[in-house]
Structure 1
Amino acid sequence: MNELESLKSIFKDRIFKIPDYQRGYAWTTRQLKDFWEDLVNVPIDRYHYTGLLSLKKVDSKVWTNWNEEKWLIEDRGFKPFHIVDGQQRLTTFVIFIQSICELLINNGENINKSENEIYLGSFSLKAIKEEYLVIEKPPRFIIRTHKFGYEVDNPSFKFLRHRIFQEPNSGTIQETFYTLNLDNAKSFFKENLNIYYEKYGLKEIDILFKKVTQNLMFNVYEISDDFDVFVAFETMNNRGKKLSNLELLKNRLIYLTTLYDKNQLKDDERNSLREKINEAWKEVYYQLGRNKQNPLNDDDFLVAHWIMYFQYTREKGDDYIRFLLEQKFTPQNIYAKTEVRLSSIQEFEEIKDDEEPDLDEVEINGEEEITSFRSKLSPKEIEEYVNSLKSAAVHWYNTYNPVNNLNLTNQESLWIDRLNRIGIIYFRPLITASFLTENTNPKKRVQLFKAIERFIFITFRLSRAFSTYRNSEFYRAARQLRDNELTVENIIQILNQRMNYCFYMSEESKEVFFEYTYFQKYIDKKFKSGGGFYSWNGLRYFLYEYEMEKVRLRGSQKIDWKLFIKNEKDKVSIEHIYPQTPANKCWKDDFNNYKKTQQVYFQGTLGNLLPLSQSVNSSLQNDCFSSKKTAKYNEKKEKLRQGYADGSHSEIEVSGYDEWNPNNILDRGLKLLEFMEQRWDLKFESENEKAELLFLDFMNPDEYVEQRNK
């Protein structure tokens, strides 16, 4: 361990590269705020311990291939280092310094000045850049050498150069899960530095610069050649922002490629395998960060892929990473040898004299055989695994982002979107796996998606099964589908069989009907707690599907799902047409024939709940039906609410009723249950059953239905 060094000392005559086994930039706003507050609050006359910086000197075999850095190493004596621990802090520092440079350039006093003419305290902008960011090779200044960066094939390096350091002529830049964090850090410092400058002036910006380069101190440690750098990386990076399991796995796999002897993995094969690991992770992190508004969790993806690729076992939540890092991809499985026998007349790789200690030759029945001892974990297994991760990533992304997705057919997009809306629970690995086998096509996949959606709605939303019901079986089915051990037809059959408890056969007609009593008991509890159908967790999905059926028949979508499920304070997107507080005389006249205990059921029953195209203030729910049917304005002619007649298709349908009374509530409830029967292929035995499920059987529904049919 060396003495404490400042950033100014650390960057003197050094070039830093983040090696391929490292994760990308992982700091988020929370860590950036901590850094900013530390920097602002540390006194200018005090030092602040920042942490450990572990470095590994780069071998000449490696840096001689660095085109843009080689001149600084050979001509000016710079020393090249890989950053083993501390890259998050160093990355943050250089982004902060870059942000200060941009603040200086954009200062009105510096317009049209060269970098030699712009100063921060006694440092010119050119000197600052050359010391911490980039040096141009004289005399032609074509080569721009970054003192800090990633290995060249890492998409974060191109993003860092062109989006963070504003180097021009970038071309296409691949954005990943990590580049989002780089961009966020740049925006954070730009905003806070501008505010700080406007409040305190350039002198205080100079003080911040001196603090970051001279007052923040590192313990710098150089790892010796014989030290296991990969193990060091795993150990050291468990401090600070913890490595994700996907990040740990990448480091482990690259480490394993270094352990094979040359009999099993020649140098060109070793390099190729390492490149495939890097390419796989590059693709994975591209897909995970592809949607900037909703970046995907890397460990969720790793768990799902483990379910699809290996034999699922139902144990603790972290069982998958113990299997990957402690059972499958371990150094022990490289060192442990298994015996392989090959006939000498078969094709076999050339055996060199110096490789003979690993081989035995025996003669059996007059034939010569070659016995070779190979690692329990072969390089081919690693290659197949990382290629599978790579190919699964885009399909994982597609399951979260199906809308307007050119990789999906219209029907695939429609049904995956439905699955996300209803709550996909544990089926995402199975859906992803359906894209990874040659035995499926878009038509078969849509059949599977329809069956899964029906299973979720009937089993979980209606029949109230526990959220883990049969999850192990369908996790295993994901792997079996990927491995062609099961077909889509097999899985659909299993899905239908697992819903048998949701149905019963009539002894008289021998027809199969929906067993609604599970759902009825659930809704009864909701009525007792004051909500009724309004508290059903499948209500929004059901009403939205009813609305979308009207859209398919008539066109013109009027309800946006994201706004429909958004919870706004004191506003509603599903209205009780007959209100929960029916104070107006109009409501009393229509419902006074029923007891107050019965009026509660009219308020909370399915037929009284209406999806609105625009949310309204909850107080407006108490208006009379005649007022709700048309738009309402205040004295200033400002619209307070949308009228049913101009609203969603469901609102327009309700506006067709002349009045809103008990009979019409039952009528609409029955219509909605008829839609449920058609949409999810289930059947109620009688209208009485439907009325009972609607909690309106006290109305003498047989008499009403007879009048309705006339």
Structure 2
Amino acid sequence: MASELQPLSLLFQNRLFRIPDYQRGYAWQQSQLADFWDDLINLQEGRYHYTGLLSLKPLKQNEVDSWGTDIWLVKKGFKPCHIVDGQQRLTTFIILLNEIVEFVRSLEENKGKTDESIILGDDTLAEVVTKYICKHRPSNNQIITYLFGYEVDNPSAEYLRHKIFNEPCSGSIHETYYTKNLKFAKVFFRENLEALYVEEHMEGINKLYLKLTLSLMFNIHEIDDDYDVFIAFETMNNRGKKLTNLELLKNRLIYLTTLYSETKFDELDKANLRGQINDAWKEVYYQLGRNENVPLSDDDFLRAHWISYFSYSRKKGDDYIQFLLNKFSAKNIFEKKTVAVEQINQSLDTSIDYSLDDENELDSSEPEVMEVLKLEPNEISEYVNSLKDMAKYWYDTFFPSQSENLNAEEKLWVDRLNRVGIGHFRPLVMVIISRRDLEAEKRIEIFKEIERFIFICFRLGYLNATYKSSEYYRAARSIYLRQMNIDDLIEDITVSTNINIEYALQNFVTKIEKHFDDMGGFYYWNSIKYFLFEYELQLAKKNNLDKVSWGMFTKTEKDKITIEHILPQTPTKYYWRNQFRQFDDDEIATLSCALGNLLPLSQSINSSLQNDSFYDKKTSKAEGRRGYENGSHSEIEVSKETDWTAERIYNRSKKLLEFMENRWQFSFTKEQMEDLIYVSFAVDGRVIPAELPEPVSGASLDEESTLSDSASYSGEGLGTQQQMFWSKFVEYCIQEGRGEDIALRKPLAQNWYDISVSDADFHLSFTITRGKYLSLVIYAYNHEAFTRLESKKATIEEVFGNKLDWYSSKKDSVAKRIIYKYECEIFNPKKQTEIFSWMIDKYDELCYALTVAGELDEV
């Protein structure tokens, strides 16, 4: 194995480089390109920079017969080489060098000049191109051979020639994940060259070229013929930007094709199998990279296919790739089997007297070792062709609207699965789509049952995300191998869902009550958007409109959907204060986050409506801002109300919950329905006081008084202000040495900040209400915990030094809050240091009180 240091100028002397088919494509991205550029720019003149290992495999004549017209350069004496290690760096050098050439050509001063008359460094451009980029075969110059490139069957080969080197092309060029990286590198270097030229002019470009070709040193290793190049590739590529498992597996499979005996598997067979492997990987990478904005994960697909094709284990991590690399390994090509000679096609000769010594001699004799074929070539062929075939169905699970394998209703249901959170069902869905023998109606039936399972068990019941994952992974394989009847699978999912309904609904009620306790209500439910969109679809169907999409709520791609509180969270305008004058601030806050008060809108519409009166919200304006009356079906439905009242919030909450029952086929108990509506006080028949006096001269109430927290001290939204408040609180705690007890939670855009208590059935929490009430809360998880704490009420309050509100939670709530409330200007930056100090002091006082009461360990 030869080894020496060489710069690019020596490396390209009489060598022809090709990236072999077992190599991955170009994987460098912005971080690697930026590091490379910085190293090059900061390299001082006269200094050398060690660039790393370049491992080459010199090729024999018969190994390059498939190179087509490029063979003329080999016959001329150029040494053909496969790049075993270092292709990412060498590809980067060539892209940059080519961009330097193109940039210099494009300069105004060089317009109209030939490459022979343009100087770069100490060379003409013609010399640079001939030495590093390509050569033309004399005498007609019709054949162009690039000194660096991919083997022909690599999808990046054509892209490099025509999109990077800009050779004219009349055909279409397919893009993959790797070709996009090539394109990005080209653009990256072009932009940086332009910036360098602006700063240092042509002198900077010349210096860059000389450093690139003369000062960056490769450690050259040439692998001997008897060296196992595939094993070397696996070993070497564990450095740097590590191979993905999909890339590693491709190398392994191609390697195995070289090991089969010529007697059973000749060179033609090997070439055919190798072609199948390359074709499979082309298709896989095409499908994974079809969506340029959202490329799919190599490893996720490989694992999903392994689950469907081979097996599933409950181990974590890389169990699937370990299985595949063990399955497709050299030791499995041939298995040595020990067999005694006498047992092979022989019967015992009874005419011979076998004595004990003879038997011992037979047992101790050297047994014959037979080589028995274990991993057949057709197993590799069947596996890679399955991988190739399933890639398109994997893509369909993510982007059903682009699928050619699904009808319109199937697309709708697979899209639902993605919106609700498909989770561990994705491999099964992939297999269901691949079963082209199934009727579309049957596939839709299974999609419906999966969606119902996910919504009830995970979105309502909050079951562990891995619940029944092993079972449905195994089902994916059974359906793929046609070992399981699809109707049996549908029944199994249906039964699994139904037996969890009672538990799921109890969990859902408890969770929503917790959200109301935290002053977020249904607004904090993580599936609120999905649920309201499903309601929108139901209204569209009712109105005989087939197509509804999230896009109808948005003006642009960046205009994300948000949830509007019809009754605002901070109702400062006169209309709202007057309309809900019979309720106190806490009741209004609760009404604002009730299910019936929430409406899906685009972010821009939500922001423009803000605290507007109900009439203004529902009415479109002449200047172009639309109101509810011209919005979605849900908005139009709400706009038909003459006014927005607490009773209408109550009734709409009930209506939406009844829709939930019908849509997902279950029933709430009467008590659960009331618990989820939550705002029964809205219809308690209380006396409504006289109307509030209108502000003078039409000024709104918020112009006459202190505004809500979301408008008082900044233009930021409420969620942003909450997150900023908690972030500053955490910073303050860390500065005060409280980073290990109080400041352990990540600050989020919500109105509470929980502090866990080890081995306790309660936790402590700070909450913000309406931007002016800061509460310290003991949150008891169940009645037993609350009753125990309540029995020590006198001790806790005496030691704490203040009275606590023990009874703010609903009587029938499972969990209970015990609150100490403090009024202050929470979002006033000038007050926050004082507030943070108060928070820590009160937290310590409450912890001490709980310790004295025997509820906490010594603090």
Q: Verify same fold: TM over 0.5.
A: yes
Closer, same or farther in 2 for the Cα pair 1:267/1:572, shift >3 Å? closer
1:247-294: CA deviation from partner (whole Å, max 9, x where unpaired): 111111111111222244222212211111111111111111111111
The one-letter code sitting in structure 2 at the alignment partner of 1:684 is F
CA distance in 1: counterparts of 2:549 and 2:601, whole angstroms = 9
Residue 29 of structure 1 corresponds to: 30
Question: Is 1:630 the counterpart of 2:630 in the alignment?
Answer: no
Residue 48 of structure 2 corresponds to: 47
The one-letter code sitting in structure 2 at the alignment partner of 1:173 is I
Residue 213 of structure 2 corresponds to: 213
CA distance in 2: counterparts of 1:516 and 1:16, whole angstroms = 65
Give how far 1:105 is off: 2.4
Cα pair 2:519 2:590 within 8 Å, conserved: no
Residue 635 of structure 2 corresponds to: 651
Q: Which moved more, 1:142-151 or 1:594-603?
A: 594-603
Question: Is 1:671 the counterpart of 2:655 in the alignment?
Answer: yes
Residue 626 of structure 2 corresponds to: 642
Residue 185 of structure 2 corresponds to: 185
Closer, same or farther in 2 for the Cα pair 1:312/1:652, shift >3 Å? same
Residue 384 of structure 2 corresponds to: 386
Residue 484 of structure 2 corresponds to: 486
Cα root mean square deviation, aligned: 2.7
Residue 549 of structure 1 corresponds to: 538
Give how far 1:113 is off: 2.7
CA distance in 1: counterparts of 2:64 and 2:120, whole angstroms = 34
Closer, same or farther in 2 for the Cα pair 1:567/1:661, shift >3 Å? farther
For the residue of structure 2 that corresponds to 1:55, the secondary structure is strand
2:517 corresponds, among 528, 546, 551, to: 528
CA distance in 2: counterparts of 1:21 and 1:487, whole angstroms = 39
CA distance in 2: counterparts of 1:94 and 1:87, whole angstroms = 10
Cα pair 2:562 2:603 within 8 Å, conserved: yes
Closer, same or farther in 2 for the Cα pair 1:400/1:701, shift >3 Å? farther
For the residue of structure 2 that corresponds to 1:51, the secondary structure is strand
1:291-440 maps to which residues of 2 (within 5 A)? 291-325=291-325, 327-337=326-336, 362=345, 373-437=371-435, 439-440=437-438
Closer, same or farther in 2 for the Cα pair 1:267/1:182, shift >3 Å? same
Unaligned runs of 5+ in 1: 341-357, 366-370, 505-513, 704-710
The one-letter code sitting in structure 2 at the alignment partner of 1:477 is A
1:463-497: CA deviation from partner (whole Å, max 9, x where unpaired): 21111111111111110100111122121111111
Q: Which moved more, 1:298-307 or 1:589-598?
A: 589-598
1:399-432: CA deviation from partner (whole Å, max 9, x where unpaired): 1111143332112211111111111111110011
Cα pair 2:561 2:602 within 8 Å, conserved: no
The one-letter code sitting in structure 2 at the alignment partner of 1:426 is H
1:52-451 maps to which residues of 2 (within 5 A)? 52-75=53-76, 77-325=77-325, 327-337=326-336, 362=345, 373-437=371-435, 439-451=437-449
Give how far 1:613 is off: 4.2
Closer, same or farther in 2 for the Cα pair 1:564/1:443, shift >3 Å? farther
Give how far 1:586 is off: 2.1
Question: Is 1:611 the counterpart of 2:611 in the alignment?
Answer: no
For the residue of structure 1 that corresponds to 2:115, the secondary structure is coil
Closer, same or farther in 2 for the Cα pair 1:68/1:646, shift >3 Å? same
Give how far 1:373 is off: 4.8
Closer, same or farther in 2 for the Cα pair 1:177/1:558, shift >3 Å? closer
Closer, same or farther in 2 for the Cα pair 1:572/1:470, shift >3 Å? closer
Cα pair 1:572 1:616 within 8 Å, conserved: no
Normalising by structure 1, report the TM-score: 0.88
Question: Is 1:560 the counterpart of 2:551 in the alignment?
Answer: yes
Cα pair 1:250 1:277 within 8 Å, conserved: yes
Residue 344 of structure 1 corresponds to: none
Give how far 1:693 is off: 1.4
- Between structure 1 and structure 2, the one with the greater Rg is 2
CA distance in 2: counterparts of 1:253 and 1:600, whole angstroms = 63
CA distance in 2: counterparts of 1:27 and 1:230, whole angstroms = 22
Q: Which moved more, 1:520-529 or 1:597-606?
A: 597-606
Cα pair 1:574 1:609 within 8 Å, conserved: yes
CA distance in 1: counterparts of 2:553 and 2:307, whole angstroms = 30
CA distance in 1: counterparts of 2:56 and 2:497, whole angstroms = 59
Give how far 1:664 is off: 0.6
CA distance in 1: counterparts of 2:557 and 2:653, whole angstroms = 25
The one-letter code sitting in structure 1 at the alignment partner of 2:62 is K
The one-letter code sitting in structure 2 at the alignment partner of 1:667 is N
Give how far 1:658 is off: 0.9
Give how far 1:364 is off: 8.9
CA distance in 2: counterparts of 1:572 and 1:414, whole angstroms = 19
Give how far 1:2 is off: 2.7
For the residue of structure 2 that corresponds to 1:374, the secondary structure is strand
Give how far 1:701 is off: 8.2
CA distance in 2: counterparts of 1:472 and 1:557, whole angstroms = 35
CA distance in 2: counterparts of 1:518 and 1:573, whole angstroms = 25
CA distance in 2: counterparts of 1:677 and 1:566, whole angstroms = 33
Cα pair 1:156 1:178 within 8 Å, conserved: yes
Q: Which moved more, 1:52-61 or 1:198-207?
A: 198-207
CA distance in 1: counterparts of 2:245 and 2:426, whole angstroms = 20
Q: Which moved more, 1:540-549 or 1:469-478?
A: 540-549
Cα pair 1:602 1:665 within 8 Å, conserved: yes
CA distance in 2: counterparts of 1:447 and 1:375, whole angstroms = 44
Cα pair 2:553 2:602 within 8 Å, conserved: no
CA distance in 1: counterparts of 2:604 and 2:122, whole angstroms = 59
Cα pair 2:550 2:561 within 8 Å, conserved: no
Question: Is 1:695 the counterpart of 2:672 in the alignment?
Answer: no
For the residue of structure 2 that corresponds to 1:39, the secondary structure is helix
For the residue of structure 2 that corresponds to 1:52, the secondary structure is strand
CA distance in 2: counterparts of 1:97 and 1:17, whole angstroms = 17
CA distance in 2: counterparts of 1:442 and 1:143, whole angstroms = 52
For the residue of structure 2 that corresponds to 1:166, the secondary structure is coil
Closer, same or farther in 2 for the Cα pair 1:338/1:436, shift >3 Å? farther
Residue 343 of structure 1 corresponds to: none
Residue 510 of structure 1 corresponds to: none
Q: Which moved more, 1:237-246 or 1:611-620?
A: 611-620
1:425-450: CA deviation from partner (whole Å, max 9, x where unpaired): 11110011113335423222111111
Closer, same or farther in 2 for the Cα pair 1:396/1:525, shift >3 Å? same
For the residue of structure 1 that corresponds to 2:41, the secondary structure is helix
CA distance in 2: counterparts of 1:564 and 1:537, whole angstroms = 24
Give how far 1:114 is off: 2.6
CA distance in 2: counterparts of 1:408 and 1:74, whole angstroms = 53
Cα pair 1:304 1:429 within 8 Å, conserved: yes
Cα pair 1:558 1:647 within 8 Å, conserved: no
CA distance in 2: counterparts of 1:561 and 1:335, whole angstroms = 61
The one-letter code sitting in structure 2 at the alignment partner of 1:652 is I
Give how far 1:700 is off: 5.3
For the residue of structure 2 that corresponds to 1:498, the secondary structure is helix
Residue 368 of structure 1 corresponds to: none
The one-letter code sitting in structure 2 at the alignment partner of 1:172 is S
1:582-601: CA deviation from partner (whole Å, max 9, x where unpaired): 22232222323234443332
Cα pair 2:334 2:371 within 8 Å, conserved: no
Give how far 1:338 is off: 6.3
For the residue of structure 1 that corresponds to 2:435, the secondary structure is coil
Normalising by structure 2, report the TM-score: 0.73
Residue 576 of structure 1 corresponds to: 565
Closer, same or farther in 2 for the Cα pair 1:364/1:500, shift >3 Å? farther
Give how far 1:308 is off: 0.6
